[in-house]
Amino acid sequence: METRAEAHGSVGIPVAVSIYRHALVTRLTHWINVLCVTVLLFSGLQIFNAHPALYWGHFGADADHPVFEIGADEPENGPPVGFARIGSTTFATTGVLGVSNNAAGEAVERGFPRWLTLPGWRELSLGRRWHFFFAWLFVANLLVYFAAGLGNGHLRRDLLPSGQELRPRSLLRDIAGHIKLKFPRGEEARRYNPLQKLAYLAVIGVLLPVMVLTGLTMSPGMDAILPWLVDLFGGRQSARTIHFIAAFLIVLFVVVHVAMVFLAGPINELRSMITGRFRISVEDQHE
Amino acid sequence: MSSIQIPRRRFLALGAAGFGASLLAGCDRLSESPEVGEFLSSAEGLTYRAQRLLGGSHSLAREYAEADLSPVFKVNGTHMPEGDDYAELVESNFARWRLRIDGLVANPLDLSLQDLRNLPQRTQITRHDCVEGWSAIGKWQGVPLSIVLKRASPLPEARFAVFHCADMYEHALDGTGQYYESIDLIDAFHPQTILAHRLNDGPLSVGHGAPLRLRVERQLGYKQAKYVMRVELAASLEGFGRGKGGFWPDRGYEWYAGI
């Protein structure tokens, strides 16, 4: 890791140091992943809208009981009412889920609103085209990331928490630090903190692979090729439900991730993911 | 320091929101372009080749047990084909119905339902996956398509089996509203590809495609053509419908629906 300290005289004065934080392959795969996940999310919601209900098990259709459902009730007098139902709990969601405005400003029945689907209008076939093209790119990008991360030590060195970091005391201290929005400074900022490592590992090591595998399980062709996929997730409809839950968790991660970037210093964080250079302040050790 | 950072943050937040909105608007504009649609479609060839490479002609769709059957097998697409011709077939319980096998074959065939029943049968409990996302498990019985095709002796130029159906799905002005579908010969000769005349131990109902429907178990529901009247072997998909090999493929859906 090269550092470029600016000249300062006396001991103990903080000095801004620019460190090389992200390898080119990390930055490239990060931004390709941003593009893929964005397109996959919005085209995925377009696909979901074709049958806005989720089931558990091997089968599930209109006559079967969904675990999650978005729909619309049509009262005898009055406009349609959108709802989302989880298990037996129903939420009124008119305006966003179940019933939302079309491009002409009229309230129409649809699962997710037009501003959350790709394309904005209802076209399952085009949603699928977007989804599968970017699914291929997403998988290729993930493979490049894993190959490079194993090869250059990025996964082991930067993401794998040390035994010490996993001790309850250090985790609790890190949690407290996050709650108080106190971010590591100086030498500590050279590394990801333990919660950060765990969050990245959970997304990269669990959520993204689960998205790929549950996606493959929904393909009847792949089910014939890899029958264990269906067993792994307890059925094609369970896989579809898990695909949706994992997508939701990825959105949750992105919200927290982007919030942390803004709280920790957006210019510095963004620059480090573009140019690789990250600025930290260390106490000058030179006389 | 902080007095500089706050406007910066606000600027970045606004920038991110604006970026998101313009990204979606941009994607909609891209979606309207036929060239972009064509470009995105290139993934279909990749999927087809990957699944054929990994699964080839041998990989089998899962077969389930009786206990796994869907209580209700959803009727989708055409519920009852329009027109007097089909109504008369239903009236006579398909007595005068014949399945025509022709095109690039040495020996064209006309088979009655009884002829099909007299051929070797296959029964399979499989999962039907609709492109919309739902699934239903049903028990199908019918004649393996391979047995019928072998009797018709395909010519070497044949590459696709095209299924002509009795239902007019859409009243398209160019006359391409008739339902049809097509598969390659790998799927046509796959052991689980059958011409089914029974569902869940009863004769195929009108809603499910009476008297005969295709089952091609490694692909999605819209490939499972109902009301099959004729199987034509062809060297190319040009000249059928709008040339993409099926009613839904002509309307933007993948011809290869293994995904």
Instruction: State residue A6's pLDDT score.
Output: 47
Does the beta carbon of A125 lie under 8 angstroms from any beta carbon of chain B? Answer: yes
Does the beta carbon of A219 lie under 8 angstroms from any beta carbon of chain B? Answer: yes
Same domain? For A53 and A89 the reply is no
B contact residues 146-205, partner A, Cβ 8 Å cutoff: none
Same domain? For A40 and A104 the reply is no
Domain final residue, candidates A110, A144, A177: A110
Distance in angstroms (rounded) separating the CA atoms of residues B105 and B186: 17
Element (H, E) at A17: strand A14-20
Rounded to the nearest angstrom, the minimum Cα separation between A4 and chain B is 22
Residues in chain B, pLDDT under 50? 1-3
User: Chain B interface, mutation test: which of A115, A123, A183, A219, most B Cβ atoms within 10 Å?
Assistant: A219
Contact residues on chain A for B28, CB-CB shorter than 8 A:
118-121
For residues B91-108, one letter each, b for 16 or more C-beta atoms within 10 angstroms of the residue's C-beta and e for the rest, the string is eeebeebebebebbbeee
One-letter amino acid of A65: H
Instruction: State residue A129's pLDDT score.
Output: 97
Does the beta carbon of A260 lie under 8 angstroms from any beta carbon of chain B? Answer: no
Element (H, E) at A81: strand A81-86
What residue segments make up the domains of chain B, in order of their start? 63-251
Rounded to the nearest angstrom, the minimum Cα separation between A63 and chain B is 6
User: A152 to each of A56, A88, A147, A199, A271, how far by Cα in Å?
Assistant: 41, 50, 9, 21, 22
The H helix count followed by the E strand count for chain A is 10, 9
Q: How many CB pairs under 8 A join A and B?
A: 152
Q: Residue B101: helix, strand or coil by DSSP?
A: strand
A236-264 vs A24-49: helix crossing angle, rounded to 10: 130
Same domain? For A147 and A204 the reply is yes
Nearest to B70 among A59, A221, A266 (CB): A59
Rounded to the nearest angstrom, the minimum Cα separation between A42 and chain B is 9
Distance in angstroms (rounded) separating the CA atoms of residues A44 and A240: 11
- Domain assignment of residue A199, given as a range: 3-59+111-283
Q: Kindly report the CATH number assigned to the domain that includes residue A128.
A: 1.20.950.20
User: A223 to each of A218, A226, B61, B105, B210, how far by Cα in Å?
Assistant: 8, 5, 7, 33, 28
Same domain? For A137 and A266 the reply is yes
- In the structure encoding, which two tokens stand for residue B7, read together? 């406007």
pLDDT (tens digit per residue) in B138-152:
999 999 999 999 999
Q: How many CB atoms lie within 10 A of CB A177?
A: 16
Determine the residue of chain A that is closest to B252 in CA distance. A125
Element (H, E) at A15: strand A14-20
DSSP E strand stretches across chain B:
99-103, 109-111, 122-129, 135-144, 160-168, 178-184, 194-199, 202-203, 213-215, 228-234
Rounded to the nearest angstrom, the minimum Cα separation between B168 and chain A is 21
Closest CA relative to residue A268, chosen from A2, A16, A5: A16
Contact A185, A281 (CB under 8 A): yes
Q: How many domains does chain A have?
A: 2
Instruction: State residue A11's pLDDT score.
Output: 57
B contact residues 30-59, partner A, Cβ 8 Å cutoff: 31-32, 37, 39-44, 46-47, 51, 54-55, 59
Tokens 């009852």 belong to which residue?
A: B80
Same domain? For A65 and A120 the reply is no
Nearest to A220 among B28, B220, B248 (CB): B220
Instruction: State residue B6's pLDDT score.
Output: 54
CB contact under 8 A, A221 and B16: no
Domain final residue, candidates A82, A110, A138: A110
Same domain? For A17 and A151 the reply is yes
For the beta sheet containing B178-184, the strands, ordered from the edge strand earlier in sequence to the opposite edge, are B109-111, B99-103, B228-234, B160-168, B178-184
User: B191 to each of B50, B92, B248, how far by Cα in Å?
Assistant: 20, 32, 25
- In the structure encoding, which two tokens stand for residue A73, read together? 């009730």
Determine the residue of chain B that is closest to A241 in CA distance. B133
Contact residues on chain A for B61, CB-CB shorter than 8 A:
220, 223-224
Same domain? For A35 and A148 the reply is yes
Q: What's chain B's length in residues?
A: 259
Same domain? For A82 and A131 the reply is no
Instruction: State residue A187's pLDDT score.
Output: 81
pTM of the model: 0.92
CB contact under 8 A, B43 and A136: yes
Same domain? For A43 and A160 the reply is yes
Rounded to the nearest angstrom, the minimum Cα separation between B112 and chain A is 31
Q: What is the DSSP letter of B200?
A: T
Instruction: State residue B9's pLDDT score.
Output: 61
Is the predicted ipTM greater than 0.90, yes or no? yes
Rounded to the nearest angstrom, the minimum Cα separation between B196 and chain A is 19
Q: Which residues contact A278 (CB under 8 A, 6 or more apart)?
A: A18, A19, A20, A21, A22, A189, A268, A269, A271, A272
Distance in angstroms (rounded) separating the CA atoms of residues B51 and B31: 27
Pairing of strands B160-168, B178-184: antiparallel
Q: What is the pLDDT along chain A (287 residues), one digit of tens a residue?
A: 444 444 444 556 788 889 999 999 999 999 999 999 999 999 999 999 999 999 999 999 999 999 999 999 999 988 999 999 999 999 999 999 999 999 899 999 999 999 999 999 999 999 999 999 999 999 999 999 999 999 999 999 999 999 999 999 999 999 999 999 888 888 888 889 999 999 999 999 999 999 999 999 999 999 999 999 999 999 999 999 999 999 999 999 999 999 999 999 999 999 999 999 999 988 765 54
The per-residue DSSP string of A144-189 comes to HHHHHHHHSSHIIIIISPPTTTTSHHHHHHHHHHHHTTPPP-GGGG
CB contact under 8 A, B24 and A115: yes
Closest CA relative to residue A81, chosen from A102, A109, A103, A121: A109
Q: Which residues contact A206 (CB under 8 A, 6 or more apart)?
A: none
- In the structure encoding, which two tokens stand for residue A276, read together? 């690789």
CB contact under 8 A, A118 and B23: no
Cis peptide, bond prior to residue A119, ω within 30 of zero: yes
Q: Residue A122: helix, strand or coil by DSSP?
A: coil
Same domain? For A125 and A142 the reply is yes
Q: What CATH topology corresponds to B63-251?
A: Sulfite Oxidase; Chain A, domain 2 (3.90.420)
- In the structure encoding, which two tokens stand for residue B212, read together? 């005969």
Same domain? For A193 and A84 the reply is no
Does the beta carbon of B242 lie under 8 angstroms from any beta carbon of chain A? Answer: no
One-letter amino acid of A249: L
Instruction: State residue A285's pLDDT score.
Output: 57
